[in-house]
């Protein structure tokens, strides 16, 4: 199945003029295109293998071939142009600002996406850094929209993204260079049993990625001024290394080490008032953010049994000069560190009873640790832990050749939490599928989901975050009806959905105190999605998607429903394969947008348009030359959805060469 991207007239015109000069990979022949993954097998949606057309949920499957042709550098690039996902970024290459991550926002829910790697969670206290995962290591990505807590537990309120990595090595090395000091180095080596991988992606500098107002006139600041600031970024680095051991047909062992680093320097851009001699060009603050993460997994399957053991550890550090925003007179240095660790196990048993009935029963356990580590700006180090338990079951009943029902339940509870702040939750779901014919289906579903408060929200993550140990768990219900049809070389999908969330956990910013407070609010969204993937009999294939939605939230400070994100999204792509050339153009357009401050009314902001053109020439099966261009129209679009402004990178390119052996 093709990735859902915008098929715009301007994209078609641009592509038509460039296919003779740009390309990505040779297609085998027209017959192969007819089978271009239009009906992938999906596992994530039901924890069992099903053809996509038979899955009673809104799903997207993105294959390794599609990822390669899109020119994506990492998993975040891949997800940025998926229908129904709003993109948010603080800097190029997914350069997050510590715990201020680049979110994967499904259907307007900004804290409800569960990220899995090979079916195992990799989030740390509700955060994730998918920009760490290089695109070359991904076999496919499965996305399931709507609540997924019954099968996967907390955090899966908006949906689940399952990044499935390659188990067998393609022996190759890649080197690439581009403007803004871009560099890319990759190597993969091994055989069908054991492989190693290494990836390094760099971006030197980019000025004026953010503009914001500043007011340090309150007494706690070292220097008092009111005005505006601008932010530059430098020394972006994403590095990963690891191995994959395919022990046998039943067991696989994986380990990956990720490191990300970037430096943000904020300068005074204008001064409207000052009492301490602040001038334009003065350094406001300078912060280097470093994330080090280790991921290990043992995955096993044998007949109806599946099991996994996993661990994730992540250390985040912020380090730099405080200057104007220093809150003490003892110095200008700022340094915080925290470590998050999870150790878990997941076991499930599935079996068939006759020809019409099947069951899945499972149990999972996650031991979660949060540590505020000693650092210059940390007054008191602290550590918290808890155990997250879950028992789940799923029953699928086929009534006849046309009608079937899937029901699921889960009980989740925590133990050993500090101050006995333990939680429990019962969730249930139901999905009905009606076959119009073999490849034409209708479905309806309803599912409950929940999110437990994280340690950082309950006990504090930084000097600017005020903890709230009495936060309530976030609960919600997703209602959906949909249609899927596989007709020749067309794969159609449509869905209408409504989501209601109670006690949505959100961060509220108080400018006068420069503090975040975590509170519960309500959220709702109603929308429709339509997409179509077309694999042509000739060299051309394309796809498009449309989402209309109306995400809104209401908190105690506003007392009314306020809009979030954007109402209209168009996504699409077009790919041309001819002999030794392939060209691919992908895009995502989010319109009728608003930015939503936590305490003030939302305000309109211009649409964003994300574009990537990738072209390669492959003279033989051992060599490949690729050109990737991002932001083809050189737009300056704000990729933030809150009151702040963070802009996409200007027109940029990278030329890379790959050698296989």
Give every strand in the sheet of 138-145, ordered side by side. 59-63, 138-145, 159-165, 113-117, 120-121
Does a structural domain hold residue 2? no
DSSP 3-state assignment of 247?
coil
pLDDT of residue 530: 97
pLDDT of residue 178: 96
pLDDT of residue 90: 84
What does the DSSP assignment read for 434-464? Answer: EEEETTEEEEEEEEEEEEPPPHHHHH-SSTT
Task: Find the CATH number of the domain harbouring 196.
Answer: 2.40.170.20
pLDDT of residue 462: 57
- Burial of residue 271 (number of CB atoms within 10 Å: 0-12, 13-18, 19+): middle
- Domain residues for the domain of 547 are 9-660
Q: Write a three-state SS string for 146-165.
A: CCCHHHHCCCCCCEEEEEEE
Has residue 27 got a pLDDT over 70? no
Does a structural domain hold residue 1? no
Does a structural domain hold residue 44? yes
Structure tokens at 409: 């339940």
Per-residue pLDDT, averaged over 399-420, amounts to 93
Degrees (nearest 5) of the Cα angle 364, 111, 228? 150
Per-residue pLDDT, averaged over 592-612, amounts to 93
pLDDT of residue 11: 34
Q: 303 to each of 298, 300, 360, how far by Cα in Å? A: 17, 10, 13
DSSP 3-state assignment of 72?
coil
pLDDT of residue 369: 92
pLDDT in tens, 120-179: 998 777 777 888 889 999 999 999 999 889 999 988 999 999 999 988 878 999 999 999
pLDDT of residue 38: 65
Structure tokens at 567: 């109402």
pLDDT in tens, 90-127: 888 877 777 777 788 999 998 889 999 999 998 777 77
DSSP 3-state assignment of 263?
strand
CB atoms within 10 A of CB 31: 8
CA distance 569 to 557: 29
Pairing mode, strands 113-117 and 159-165: parallel
DSSP 3-state assignment of 38?
coil
pTM: 0.89
Q: 388 to each of 295, 363, 590, how far by Cα in Å? A: 19, 11, 37
Structure tokens at 304: 């109806």
Q: 547 to each of 53, 195, 567, how far by Cα in Å? A: 20, 40, 8
Instruction: Give the H or E element holding residue 28.
Output: none
Has residue 454 got a pLDDT over 90? no
What is the Cα gyration radius of the chain?
24
Pairing mode, strands 159-165 and 172-178: unpaired
Nearest CA to 470 out of 515, 430, 418 is that of 418
Confidence grade of residue 535 (pLDDT, cut at 50, 70, 90): confident
Per-residue pLDDT, averaged over 441-456, amounts to 90
Instruction: Give the H or E element holding residue 235.
Output: strand 225-245
- Cβ-contact 140, 40 below 8 angstroms: yes
pLDDT of residue 79: 92
Has residue 329 got a pLDDT over 60? no
Q: DSSP letter at 5?
A: B
Does a structural domain hold residue 594? yes
- Cβ-contact 40, 162 below 8 angstroms: no
pLDDT in tens, 547-568: 999 999 988 778 899 999 999 9
Does a structural domain hold residue 126? yes
Does a structural domain hold residue 4? no
Number of structural domains in the chain: 1
Taken in order 511, 557, 124, 588, the sign of the CA dihedral is negative
Per-residue pLDDT, averaged over 263-271, amounts to 93
Q: 270 to each of 186, 206, 214, 267, 280, how far by Cα in Å? A: 43, 20, 10, 9, 5
- Centroid of chain to Cα 398: 34
Has residue 477 got a pLDDT over 70? yes
**Residue 403 or 535, more confident:** 403
Has residue 607 got a pLDDT over 90? yes
Does a structural domain hold residue 3? no
Nearest CA to 410 out of 14, 135, 47 is that of 47
Helices and strands: H and E segment counts in the chain: 6, 36
Per-residue pLDDT, averaged over 10-29, amounts to 31
Q: 618 to each of 14, 21, 192, 341, 613, how far by Cα in Å? A: 22, 13, 24, 43, 17
- Cβ-contact 435, 441 below 8 angstroms: yes
Mean pLDDT lowest among 430-444, 490-504, 532-546, 582-596:
532-546
């Amino acid at each position: 199945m093709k990735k859902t991207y915008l098929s715009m007239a301007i994209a078609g015109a641009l592509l038509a003029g460039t296919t003779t000069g740009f390309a990505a990979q040779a297609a085998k022949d027209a017959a192969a295109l007819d089978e271009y993954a239009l009906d992938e097998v999906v596992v994530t949606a039901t924890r069992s293998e099903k053809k996509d057309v038979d899955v009673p949920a809104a799903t997207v499957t993105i294959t390794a071939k599609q990822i390669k042709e899109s020119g994506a550098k990492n998993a975040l690039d891949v997800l940025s142009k998926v229908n129904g996902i709003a993109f948010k970024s603080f800097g190029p290459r997914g350069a997050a600002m510590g715990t201020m991550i680049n979110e994967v926002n499904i259907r307007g829910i900004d804290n409800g996406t569960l990220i899995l790697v090979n079916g195992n969670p990799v989030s740390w206290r509700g955060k994730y850094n998918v920009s760490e995962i290089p695109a070359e290591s991904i076999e496919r990505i499965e996305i399931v929209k709507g609540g997924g807590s019954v099968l996967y537990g907390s955090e899966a309120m908006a949906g689940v993204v399952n990044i499935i990595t390659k188990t067998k090595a393609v022996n190759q090395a890649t080197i690439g260079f581009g403007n803004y000091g871009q560099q890319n180095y990759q190597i993969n080596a091994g055989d069908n049993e054991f492989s190693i991988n290494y990836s390094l992606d760099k971006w030197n500098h980019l000025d004026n990625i953010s503009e914001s107002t500043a007011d340090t006139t309150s007494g706690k600041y070292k220097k008092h001024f009111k005005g505006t600031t601008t932010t530059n970024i430098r020394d972006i680095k994403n590095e990963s290394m690891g191995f994959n051991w395919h022990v046998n047909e039943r067991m696989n062992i994986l380990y990956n080490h990720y490191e990300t680093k970037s430096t943000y320097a904020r300068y005074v851009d204008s001064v409207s008032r000052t009492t301490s001699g602040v001038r334009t060009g003065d350094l406001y603050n300078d912060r280097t953010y470093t994330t080090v993460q280790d991921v290990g997994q043992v995955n096993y399957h044998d007949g109806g049994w599946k099991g996994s053991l996993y661990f994730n550890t992540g250390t985040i550090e912020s380090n730099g000069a405080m200057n104007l925003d220093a809150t003490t007179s003892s110095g200008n240095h700022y340094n915080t560190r925290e470590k998050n660790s999870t150790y878990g196990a997941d076991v499930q048993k599935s079996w068939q009873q006759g020809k019409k009935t099947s069951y899945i029963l499972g149990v999972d356990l996650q031991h979660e640790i949060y540590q505020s580590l000693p650092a210059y700006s940390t007054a008191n180090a602290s550590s918290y832990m808890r155990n997250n338990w879950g028992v789940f079951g799923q029953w699928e009943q086929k009534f006849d050749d046309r009608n079937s029902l899937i029901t699921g339940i889960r009980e989740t509870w925590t133990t050993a939490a500090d101050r006995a702040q333990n939680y429990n939750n019962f969730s249930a779901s139901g999905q009905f599928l009606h076959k119009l014919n073999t490849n034409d289906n209708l479905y309806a579903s309803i599912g409950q989901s929940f999110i437990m408060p994280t340690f950082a929200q309950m006990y504090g993550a930084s000097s600017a975050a005020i903890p709230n140990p009495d936060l309530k768990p976030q609960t919600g219900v997703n209602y959906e009806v949909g249609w899927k049809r596989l007709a020749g070389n067309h794969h159609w999908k449509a869905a209408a959905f409504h989501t209601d969330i109670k006690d949505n956990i959100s961060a509220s910013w108080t400018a006068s105190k420069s503090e975040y407070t975590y509170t519960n609010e309500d959220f709702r969204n109603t929308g429709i999605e339509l997409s179509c993937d077309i694999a042509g009999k000739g060299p051309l294939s394309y796809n498009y998607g449309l989402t209309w939605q109306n995400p809104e939230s209401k908190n105690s400070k506003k007392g009314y429903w306020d809009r979030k994100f954007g109402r209209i999204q168009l996504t699409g792509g077009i790919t041309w394969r001819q002999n030794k050339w392939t060209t691919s153009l992908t895009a995502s357009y989010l319109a009728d947008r608003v930015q939503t401050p936590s305490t003030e009314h939302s305000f309109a902001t211009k649409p964003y348009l994300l574009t990537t053109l990738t072209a390669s020439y492959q003279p033989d099966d051992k060599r490949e030359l690729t050109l990737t261009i991002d932001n083809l129209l050189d737009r300056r679009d704000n990729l933030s959805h809150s009151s702040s402004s963070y802009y996409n990178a200007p027109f940029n390119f990278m030329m890379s060469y790959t050698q296989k052996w």
